[in-house]
Amino acid sequence: MDTSSILIVCILVTCSVWTIHGRSIEVNIDDQVPGEMEISVEAGKLPGVCWVCKWALNKVKKVVGRNATAEKLKSKLTAVCKEIGLLKSLCRKFVKSHLSDLIEELTTTDDVRTICVNTKACKPKKLLHQVYQSDDGGVQIQMNEYPEGRMHG
């Protein structure tokens, strides 16, 4: 009986220490020195860059309207990442590294997806190729199918 009492007390003390220690842990992603972690914000390098780009540009376009000045665009672009939540550092890195391109692109009539492709945050939609072989095994037919969206020309 005496051994089991000591064992229970040890377990309770261990659990209490874990509980107290678990409550005192603070994790802050922004604690790193800026040069310590390099983030590449090109398409395909880091998940979420395309989404961040489209989200940020949609927010900015909605706020500034059609005939925005470069100064107003710069102001809104540098402030928009405060609203994004978990991807805030990725958003800031993307906007900072592409600020002049984004300002220039936002003064055009291009849609948000096109701007994000032009800044290499998103991959372009490519022509889809499908090759089929006929039942007799001799003739191949290649069909080109264009993805949904705007078509030019």
Does residue 22 form part of some domain?
no
DSSP 43: T
The pLDDT, as a whole number, for residue 1 is: 58
Phi, psi of 73 (to 5 degrees): -65, -45
Query: For the segment 23-42, what is each residue's pLDDT rounded down to a tens digit?
Result: 444 444 444 444 434 444 44
The pLDDT, as a whole number, for residue 47 is: 64
Helical spans, DSSP H, in 70-137:
70-80, 88-106, 112-118
If pLDDT is split at 50, 70 and 90, which confidence band does 152 have?
A: very low
More confident site: 146 or 47: 47
Does residue 124 form part of some domain?
yes
If pLDDT is split at 50, 70 and 90, which confidence band does 80 have?
A: very high
CATH of the domain at 116: 1.10.225.10
Does residue 142 form part of some domain?
yes
The pLDDT, as a whole number, for residue 37 is: 41
Q: Name, in order, each residue with C-beta under 8 angstroms of 122's C-beta and a sequence gap of 6 or more.
A: 43, 49, 50, 53, 54, 113, 116
Distance between CA 49 and CA 41 in Å, rounded? 6
* 118 pLDDT higher than 80: yes
Does residue 103 form part of some domain?
yes
The pLDDT, as a whole number, for residue 101 is: 93
Token pair for 72: 């107003």
The pLDDT, as a whole number, for residue 31 is: 45
If pLDDT is split at 50, 70 and 90, which confidence band does 126 have?
A: confident
Phi, psi of 69 (to 5 degrees): -80, 165
The total number of residues written for the chain in this structure: 153
Domain span at residue 121 reads 41-146
Query: For the segment 7-21, what is each residue's pLDDT rounded down to a tens digit?
Result: 677 676 665 655 554
Which helix (DSSP H) or strand (DSSP E) does residue 4 occupy? Answer: helix 2-24
How many domains does the structure of the chain reveal? 1
